[in-house]
Amino acid sequence: MGALAVVLLASGEVSFWGAAALLGKPFLAALKAKIAAWFRRPAALPKPVSRSRHRAEVLLLALSFLPYYAVFIYLLFFVPQNATLHFLAWSLVAGEVMGIVSLFMLGGQFWERLKLLFQWQGEQESVQAHGA
């Protein structure tokens, strides 16, 4: 039964790729576009976030770094037991989850400002200075 299942799966794959080769490049391009359309969604404008939500999420983002320092200090000054190792590991996981949740909850405007931090502005400033 196992061999029969493998043969059926393999023959299905071979048939698919053989049909794709016979139908040609336009068919593959149309198939690719059809599948990509399922996963694409139109880009939406970022929704504004209230000031209190922004502050709460920035605080949550800042607090997500604390478990790393707490675990580091604990491991530096105390001898961990087996039970405390589990607690330390789960506190690191909780810090990761808090960081990820806060980044998603901050909204699109925060992401746009965050992207601007990593863009080089030097060329734009020199073009503006020479153009004026």
Contact 84, 26 (CB under 8 A): no
Classify residue 46: in a domain, yes or no.
Answer: no
pLDDT > 60? residue 16 = yes
Classify residue 9: in a domain, yes or no.
Answer: yes
Angle at 100 between CA 98 and CA 106, to 5 degrees: 95
Asked if residue 60 and residue 115 are part of one domain, the reply reads yes
User: pLDDT-based confidence at 105, cuts 50/70/90?
Assistant: confident
| φ/ψ (deg, to 5) at 58 | -65, -40
| φ/ψ (deg, to 5) at 82 | -60, -40
The total domain count for the chain is: 2
Question: Which tens digits make up the pLDDT trace of 46-86?
Answer: 667 788 887 888 888 888 889 888 888 888 888 777 777 88
Asked if residue 89 and residue 55 are part of one domain, the reply reads yes
Asked if residue 32 and residue 10 are part of one domain, the reply reads yes
pLDDT above 90 coverage of the chain, percent: 2
Classify residue 128: in a domain, yes or no.
Answer: no
State the Cα–Cα distance between residues 75 and 93, nearest whole angstrom: 16
Domain housing 22 = 2-39
Classify residue 97: in a domain, yes or no.
Answer: yes
State the Cα–Cα distance between residues 68 and 38, nearest whole angstrom: 40
Classify residue 58: in a domain, yes or no.
Answer: yes
